[in-house]
Structure 1
Amino acid sequence: MYLSNIKEAQSIVLNGPGILNARKQSLVGPEQGWDGWVMRQFTLGKDGQTPKHSHPWPHINYIISGKGTLFLDGKEQSVESGSVAYIPGGEEHQFRNVGDEEFAFICIVPEEGDK
């Protein structure tokens, strides 16, 4: 069993090509007993974004707060608090914050996707 609070999770500022104003917190994974999977929270500040990218593993997303866009299937689609998305492996995708407040989402990936 594992119980914690997001306030206790280390927040890592992400840097790299195409990344703007983004942080990641690893919440539950193999270290907490969930073998093979990892649940993370990404937070994008004002004008923040992830890079347009693809990878072989799928992931599941749940938007916690804010307003943003998800680039998927070659087009940008609006997402907001309560939106959910499944992104198959190999699909190019990108999240962007289009609001004035932080845009935060949960991202669940196989363990290989969090290396």
Structure 2
Amino acid sequence: MHNPLQEHQQETAHLVDVRATEMIEIQGPTIQFLTPLAAIGSTADDDGPCVMRGTIPPGVSVPLHSHHDPETFLTLSGELEGLAESRRGFEWIRIEPGDVFHVPGGARHAFRNIGQEAAVMNIVSTARIARFFREVGRPVPASGEPPLGPPSAETIRHFLATAEKYGYWNASPEENARIGIALPDAS
């Protein structure tokens, strides 16, 4: 159904009602799309900017991976560590509220929540990575509580196949273990 008000909002500056935006869960962490979603559904503007809010629960990690999309994380609350690679190898960097963690396109990186509360960050990246998240994520119910339990083997296989389709790289379970991240079994 055509909605002229929505069309007008997409063409003019406007306030986004974040209470009405879509939220998904991706194997533990959640992503809330803060940018209007019309641009995310197509490949027409893959390199266009997208703003999301990411939440990593206590004790949860985002495994080692890379993608062509740059990401900038502005930490709002909680404590976590971000993994960066240098000439010396990998190094975990403590990230606290107010810190900005930048990941250039192609850089290998990971996260782990080391605190007792959820780590919340605003993420600035591309519409392409938002589209990827939407393809691999599960909708969070209106209650705001993400689905519980570890991801199924099928969920993990779908994630890895979709990442490959996008040209994104994911480290093996052994590579993740070497940096201190244990992955669930995908077999």
Matched, 1:2 2:14: yes
What are the within-5 Å matches in structure 2 for residues 69-88 of structure 1? 69-73=81-85, 74-88=90-104
Structure whose residues are more often helix by fraction:
2
CA contact (8 A) 2:62 2:112 kept: yes
What amino acid maps onto 2:55 in structure 1?
A: T
Identity %: 24
Q: Which moved more, 1:62-71 or 1:85-94?
A: 85-94
1:18 maps to none
Q: Does 1:67 align with 2:79?
A: yes
Structure 1: how far apart are the matches of 2:91 and 2:129? 23
In structure 1, runs of 5+ residues without a counterpart are 16-20
Structure 1 residues 22, 64: closer, same or farther in 2, change over 3 A?
Answer: same
**1:1-115 counterparts in 2 under 5 A?**
1-15=13-27, 21-29=28-36, 31=38, 36-73=48-85, 74-115=90-131
Taking the aligned partners of 1:99 and 1:70, their CA distance within structure 2 comes to 13
Mapped partners of 1:40, 1:103: distance in 2: 14
If each structure's strand is expressed as a fraction of its own residues, which one has the higher value? 1
- Structure 1 contact 29–37 (Cα < 8 Å) conserved: no
Give the gaps of 5 or more residues in structure 2.
1-12, 40-44, 132-187
Higher relative contact order (CA 8 A, sep 6+): 1
Matched residue, 2:9: none
After TM superposition, what 4+ stretches of structure 1 lie above 4 angstroms from structure 2? none
Report the Cα distance in structure 1 between the residues aligned to 2:14 and 2:35, rounded to whole angstroms.
8
Between the aligned partners of 1:113 and 1:58, the Cα distance in structure 2 is 9
CA distance in 1, matches of 2:109, 2:73: 12
Tell which structure's C-alpha radius of gyration is larger: 2
